[in-house]
């Protein structure tokens, strides 16, 4: 049981102005495993003004000093990595076999690179009679999701610190404990007061107050497209910078000359990691009609072979959904898919043998029309749509027939074939033949999947203003 009664503001643990506490529920056991305070607008005001006071000094701190703090935080995370993974498994329900590597080790690697990238802020460019400088954008508000909580927080925090920005963070109410643990680490490294501030609470109150606050220069939000629109609307009157990472309905285009067995197995596993609660999940599998029947057999066999169970059991591939509400949403979509006429191959309900926990069995739909809602809307659960195509022209049309463009993948007979198709898909990233995630590369979406980028040099640029001085 982890219980935090205070918020981290201006370098100290402070009594919140808000009333009450929020319970944190273990989605596998449905038991309360923690409590955090419900912050109020007065807490947002204190945190933002602390960040504003700290900004001038922090932004003028030498980049080598900021890099030192980033390295120190990475060292703290490495030291307490097992503890952080345990916390995220408990509050999110992601199995331990994935949580350590994906939720903790990956973000540590992503954080560490910004110790070097901080030096980019010192670069001076001469253009004619102008000197071009990079400067920190200012006070930043981070509104974080529950599905990859530390990953997304570090994706915002690391470049902000490297650029010289100060921040106020609001974690999701479903998974806030990791953020308080991170605040303990930030306190331990002695980051100057006001550079990092943590205010927990509901998005409608704390998140909106951050987005509309006139002293916030930039807001970075990860979550649903609908919520992202509301954040942008709240931010618009003060013309602050807005970075949004939103919904996805990503295609996996498998070509006729691909290794079908490897491609289909990869596609099924990709969707089922984190029980489908991944914005980049390849939830539409586009298959050549000539090999469709064979692909369905491979996909069903793979889905039925995946082990669902207690997330603390290292043999579990899937754990529960994060919350009862998310489980309800996913089951509603599964019923909708059946009503729309898609053919249910497997899954479709909570698995047998689980008296507690928000579990949904791996679910496959065959004969899906891309115009169906289950193919157009983000379900955010372990649900995969298998869609046949006649030729590659139709496959590309189907891949791009989506309001979203966060991610995509191609599995082809050769790298060259895959690259040719990847360039024609309207998405912020594309994985060819199982290529891995790269923290040095930009991450972000096209269309209604958002704007702006995280990670790499492009991620740093989101926190930078560019000044031209003519002389």
Which residues are annotated as catalytic?
245, 279
How far is 46 from 366, CA to CA, in rounded Å?
A: 53
State the DSSP code for 367: S
Kindly write down the DSSP assignment for every residue of 246-286, as one continuous string: -----EEEE-TTS-HHHHHHHHHHHHHGGGG--TT---EEE
Beta strand 464-470 with 130-136 is antiparallel
Check residue 291 and give left, alpha or beta (phi > 0: left; psi -120 to 50: alpha). alpha
Cβ(141)–Cβ(211) below 8 Å: yes
Lookup: tokens for 5: 């009664």
Kindly write down the DSSP assignment for every residue of 1-35, as one continuous string: -EE--SEEETTEEE--SS--EEEEE-TTT--EEEE
- Give the residue carrying structure tokens 């939720």: 103
- Give the residue carrying structure tokens 């157009």: 376
How far is 262 from 157, CA to CA, in rounded Å?
A: 36
Closest by Cα among 401, 431, 437, 436 to 418? 431
Q: Residue 464's Cα: distance from chain center in Å?
A: 22
State the DSSP code for 342: -
């Amino acid at each position: 049981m982890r219980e935090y009664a205070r918020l981290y503001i201006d370098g100290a643990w402070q009594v919140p102005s808000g009333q009450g506490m929020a319970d944190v529920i273990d989605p596998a056991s449905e038991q309360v495993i923690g409590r955090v305070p419900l912050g109020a607008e007065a807490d947002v005001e204190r945190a933002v003004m602390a960040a504003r006071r700290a900004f001038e000094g922090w932004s003028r701190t030498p980049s080598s000093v900021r890099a030192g703090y980033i390295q120190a935080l990475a060292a703290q995370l490495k030291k307490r990595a097992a503890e952080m993974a345990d916390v995220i498994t408990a509050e999110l329900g992601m199995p331990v076999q994935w949580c350590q590597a994906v939720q903790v080790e990956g973000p540590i690697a992503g954080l560490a690179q910004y110790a070097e990238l901080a030096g980019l802020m010192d670069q001076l460019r001469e253009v004619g009679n102008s000197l071009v400088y990079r400067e920190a954008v200012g006070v930043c508000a981070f509104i974080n999701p529950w599905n990859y909580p530390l990953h997304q927080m570090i994706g915002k925090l690391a470049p902000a610190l490297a650029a010289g920005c100060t921040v106020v963070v609001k974690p999701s109410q479903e998974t806030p404990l990791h953020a308080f643990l991170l605040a303990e680490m930030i306190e331990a490294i002695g980051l100057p007061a006001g550079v990092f501030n943590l205010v927990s609470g509901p998005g409608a109150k704390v998140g909106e107050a951050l987005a509309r606050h006139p002293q916030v220069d930039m807001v970075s939000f990860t979550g649903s497209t609908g919520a992202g629109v509301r954040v942008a609307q709240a931010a618009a009157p003060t013309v602050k910078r807005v970075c949004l990472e939103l919904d996805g309905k990503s295609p996996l285009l498998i070509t006729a000359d691909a290794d079908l067995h490897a491609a289909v197995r990869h596609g099924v596993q990709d969707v089922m990691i984190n029980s489908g609660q991944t914005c980049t999940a390849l939830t539409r599998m586009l298959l050549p009609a000539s090999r469709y029947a064979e692909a369905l057999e491979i996909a069903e066999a793979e889905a039925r072979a995946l082990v669902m169970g207690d997330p603390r059991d290292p043999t579990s591939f899937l754990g529960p959904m994060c919350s009862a509400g998310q489980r309800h949403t996913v089951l509603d979509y599964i019923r909708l898919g059946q009503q729309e006429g898609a053919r249910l191959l497997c899954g479709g309900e909570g698995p047998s043998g689980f008296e507690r926990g928000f579990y949904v069995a791996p679910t496959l739909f065959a004969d899906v029309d891309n115009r169906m809602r289950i193919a157009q809307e983000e379900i955010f659960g372990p649900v995969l749509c298998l869609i046949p195509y006649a030729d590659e022209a139709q496959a590309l049309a189907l891949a791009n027939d989506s309001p979203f463009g966060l991610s995509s993948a191609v599995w082809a007979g050769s790298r060259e074939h895959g690259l040719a198709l990847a360039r024609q898909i309207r998405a912020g990233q594309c994985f060819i033949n199982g290529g891995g995630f790269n923290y040095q590369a930009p991450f972000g979406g096209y269309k209604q999947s958002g704007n702006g980028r995280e990670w790499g040099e492009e991620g740093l640029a989101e926190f930078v203003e560019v000044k031209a001085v003519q002389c």
